[in-house]
Structure formats: structure tokens, C-alpha cells
Amino acid sequence: MTNMKIGMAAALAVGAMAAALPVIAASGSQLTVDVEGVRSAKGNVVISMCREGQQFPQGCTFKVAAKAKAGSTKVSIPNVPDGTYAIALFHDEDANDQLTFIREGIGFSNIANPTPDRPEFERSQFRVQGSTTVAVKLRYFS
């Protein structure tokens, strides 16, 4: 399978979620997302997070972007209500708030290697209850 085909469905799903709006409670738990494998400090890491019951990943109602740091980028999200979530993210190296597939890395919670298939919420889910840290590894296709 060529690099172009690998992860295409997953990349399209991540790109579609870029228009999500942030929804955060007035109080809740601290979630830290540790994005591993960031290849450069260019641009931003864009995170979309779905709560159980939302269509993952394109129906996520929370989105946040943080300045990329080469190697690992930690993003703290305060006031996350306890519950079950899944994360889809990408390294927006050109800072245009859109996934440029093949050139920009993608990642999903609990999935080390994105595949051509759209990720499932059940496979990507994690639980937030109190202070929680989730590690997500980026995969680049070029």
C-alpha cells in the first residue's frame, strides 16, 4: 500500500473535525495530552476531543490548538467533566488550521499506528476522572 493510501480515511476524518467548537464545563478535571513524536516546532498541534455518544472523530465538540514543540508537546486542558472521551489530533505545521495530508502528522488516543480505516471511538476511548494524562503518538506519512 502506498503512503498516499495509508491513513487516508483517518486523515480525512481528522481534517473534517477541524471546525469543531470548544465546549468546556465551568469545573471538572485536569486533562494533560502528551503528544509524542512531534517532528518540528513549526505550527500547532490541533486536538479534537469527543465525548462518548458523539460521532468520532468528525463530530467532536471540543477543539484546542497549542504551539508545537519538537519531540513532545504537552497540552493541558482544564475543567474537563469526568467521563469517557476519544482524541484525534494533527500537527498543523503550516498553521492553516487544516490537515495537509501526507505532509502533516496525525494521531489518535490509544492507537499507535493510524490505519486506512476510520478510527472507532471504542478503540480510542479513555476515561477522565480526576487528573488524567493521555499520551498520543503522531504518525507522519512523508
pLDDT in tens, 45-98: 999 999 999 999 989 999 999 999 999 999 999 999 999 999 999 999 999 999
User: Quick one: fold of 8-137?
Assistant: Immunoglobulin-like (2.60.40)
Alpha-helical segments (H) within 1-142:
8-16, 121-124
In the β-sheet with 29-38, what is the strand arrangement from edge to edge? 71-80, 29-38, 132-137
The total number of residues shown for the chain amounts to 142
pLDDT higher than threshold 60 for residue 13: no
Burial class (CB in 10 A: 0-12, 13-18, 19+), 10: buried
Q: Which residues pair with 83 in a beta bridge?
A: 128
Position 4 scores a pLDDT of 38
Position 24 scores a pLDDT of 55
Residues 3 and 116: beta-carbon distance below 8 Å: no
Q: How confident is the model at residue 8 (pLDDT cuts 50, 70, 90)?
A: very low
pTM of the entire structure? Answer: 0.82
In the chain, domain spans: 8-137
